[in-house]
């Protein structure tokens, strides 16, 4: 009886630590939707986490820890990533490319006004992105830091047949520490905290064009037009905070607060040429990256002896962006989009199989560990709207990274 009461007391104290930390992490400015930048500008997506449905709060493996939970830096094994090259395709990239190529050789109006193409472009979102080759990172001994670049070309429907074409480039630097937090001597498990500071610079040049004019634009290769179009430069800094409680070797609870304090400045220029020539800007606004609070758990079940080829199995579950109703009350997501589950199984010390479900859509992928080179691939869905099934986009990622 007394032993049972002691265990309950220790559990309560541990829970108080985690809940108190979570309450502190939620302190963030509130604003209207127009005062926020896209929080995706403050992180890097990699195919390993994407194949499981995103970066989980209890994740503590490799350089990806920098974008999952700062507290994971306290327990992550040492890894030095020299470079990475990852391609991401979002939306109907190949279908749109095929239609444009056909329109170049034929009458654009005949090809691009068919019911199939009309349906394709009615609510279009497609993007080709490249992470790297600047993708350096280190994690180990309770610290982590990295420098990453991301390049993209996006095509999106504005209204009717009008499309927006945008070219973008981003530079992101992160660095932080993870550390052990004190617990009463009789408390089971270990408690860790962490903090990461990050800074980013994102430039985007865009213009709008009628769908029927796109084939001529591509055929003439007139992409120098981006130099003459409006250019937006967004810069910002921010802090991520994290707490994780390793109840046992197999069970971990975690809380991550992204962008706890993350001011940004958005500067608009008449053209990219004006920016490059050092001309005055047209408009400057002070914005914020919205705070996101993720709650998560990881469980590592003991694998049966007959699974001799299985090195480990990890199961993850998150409840994401838990306080959007406080931070962005006029732009909240449906509660059905918040849960995420994922799994990773490592086989024969070489092959990793991954699967997940996040934002109402499935994800899957694999990884091959070839020593200093790791190859990862993922296919996954993302919901661009705040409601399930309203604007789903399917993505594919494939990449290789070199690490020591």
Q: 159-183 pLDDT, tens per residue?
A: 888 999 999 999 999 999 999 999 9
Averaged over 32-50, what is the pLDDT? 88
Q: How far apart are the first and last CA of the chain?
A: 51
**Is 303's pLDDT higher than 90?**
no
Question: Among 94, 91, 113, 110, which Cα is nearest to 161's?
Answer: 113
Helix, strand or coil, per DSSP, at residue 322? coil
- What is the Cα–Cα distance from 32 to 327, expressed in whole angstroms? 9
User: Residue 374: which residues within 8 A CB-CB, separation 6 or more?
Assistant: 367, 368, 400, 401, 403
Average pLDDT of the chain is 89
Cβ atoms of 200 and 41 within 8 Å: the answer is yes
**Secondary structure percentages of the chain, helix, strand, coil, to 5:** 25, 50, 30
Q: Where are the beta strands (DSSP E) in 247-291?
A: 251-258, 263-269, 283-288
Higher pLDDT, 80 or 309: 80
Band (218; pLDDT cuts 50, 70, 90): confident
**Is 217's pLDDT higher than 70?**
yes
Neighbours of 94 (CB within 10 A): 10
User: Residue 113: which residues within 8 A CB-CB, separation 6 or more?
Assistant: 212
Question: 286: buried, middle or exposed (CB in 10 Å: 19+, 13-18, 0-12)?
Answer: exposed
Helix, strand or coil, per DSSP, at residue 37? coil
Q: Which long-range contacts (CB under 8 A, 24 or more apart) does 8-13 make?
A: 10/184, 10/186, 10/187, 10/188, 11/188, 13/183, 13/184, 13/187
Q: 48-105 pLDDT, tens per residue?
A: 999 999 999 999 988 999 999 999 999 999 999 999 999 999 999 989 889 888 888 8
**Is 33's pLDDT higher than 60?**
no
DSSP 59-82: --SSGGGGGT-GGGGGTPPPEEEE
- What is the Cα–Cα distance from 251 to 253, expressed in whole angstroms? 7
Domains of the chain, earliest start first: 2-403 (2.40.160)
Helix, strand or coil, per DSSP, at residue 401? strand
Averaged over 379-400, what is the pLDDT? 94
Q: What is the largest CA-CA distance in the chain?
A: 84
Calculate the alpha carbon distances from 400 to 85, 125, 212, 247, 395 in Å. 6, 26, 37, 34, 17
Q: Where are the beta strands (DSSP E) in 43-142?
A: 79-90, 125-140
Q: What is the pLDDT of residue 31?
A: 52
Band (34; pLDDT cuts 50, 70, 90): low
Tell me the whole-structure pTM to 2 decimals: 0.88
Q: What is the pLDDT of residue 223?
A: 76
Cβ atoms of 71 and 374 within 8 Å: the answer is no
Averaged over 315-326, what is the pLDDT? 95
Question: 231: buried, middle or exposed (CB in 10 Å: 19+, 13-18, 0-12)?
Answer: buried
**Is 122's pLDDT higher than 90?**
no
Averaged over 204-232, what is the pLDDT? 89
Helix, strand or coil, per DSSP, at residue 145? strand
Q: What is the pLDDT of residue 252?
A: 97
Q: Which residues pair with 241 in a beta bridge?
A: 195, 257
Q: What is the pLDDT of residue 1?
A: 41
Band (222; pLDDT cuts 50, 70, 90): confident
């Amino acid at each position: 009886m007394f032993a049972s009461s002691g265990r309950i007391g220790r559990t309560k104290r541990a829970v108080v630590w985690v809940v108190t930390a979570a309450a502190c992490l939620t302190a963030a400015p509130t604003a209207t939707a127009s005062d926020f930048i896209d929080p995706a500008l403050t992180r890097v997506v990699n195919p390993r986490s994407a194949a499981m449905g995103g970066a989980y709060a209890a994740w503590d493996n490799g350089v990806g820890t920098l974008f999952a939970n700062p507290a994971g830096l306290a327990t992550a094994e040492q890894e030095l990533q020299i470079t990475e090259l990852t391609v991401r395709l979002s939306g109907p990239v190949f279908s749109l490319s095929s239609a444009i190529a056909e329109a170049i050789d034929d009458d654009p109006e005949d090809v691009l006004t068919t019911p199939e193409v009309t349906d394709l472009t009615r609510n279009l979102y497609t993007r080709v992105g490249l992470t790297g080759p600047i993708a350096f990172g280190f994690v180990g001994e309770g610290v982590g830091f990295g420098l990453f670049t991301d390049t993209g070309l996006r095509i999106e429907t504005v209204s009717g047949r009008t499309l927006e074409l945008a070219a973008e480039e981003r530079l992101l630097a992160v660095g932080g520490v993870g550390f052990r937090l004190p617990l009463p001597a009789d408390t089971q498990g270990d408690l860790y905290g962490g903090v990461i500071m990050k800074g980013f610079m994102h430039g985007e040049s865009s213009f709008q064009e009628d769908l029927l004019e796109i084939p001529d634009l591509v055929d003439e290769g007139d992409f120098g037009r981006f130099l003459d179009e409006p250019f937006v430069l967004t810069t910002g800094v921010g802090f991520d905070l994290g707490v994780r409680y390793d109840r046992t070797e197999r069970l971990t609870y975690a809380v991550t607060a992204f962008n706890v304090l993350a001011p940004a400045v958005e500067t608009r220029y008449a053209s990219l040429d004006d920016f490059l020539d050092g001309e005055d800007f047209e408009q400057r606004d002070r914005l914020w990256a919205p705070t996101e609070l993720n709650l998560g758990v990881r469980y590592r079940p003991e694998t049966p002896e007959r699974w001799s080829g299985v090195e480990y199995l990890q199961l993850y579950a998150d409840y994401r962006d838990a306080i959007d109703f406080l931070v962005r009350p006029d732009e909240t997501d449906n509660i059905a989009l918040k849960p995420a589950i994922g799994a990773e199984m490592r086989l024969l010390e070489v092959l990793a199989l991954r699967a997940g479900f996040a934002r109402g859509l499935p994800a899957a992928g694999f990884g091959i560990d070839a020593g200093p080179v790791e190859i990862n691939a993922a296919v996954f869905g993302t919901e661009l709207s705040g409601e399930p099934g309203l604007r789903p986009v399917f993505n594919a990622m494939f990449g290789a990274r070199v690490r020591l």
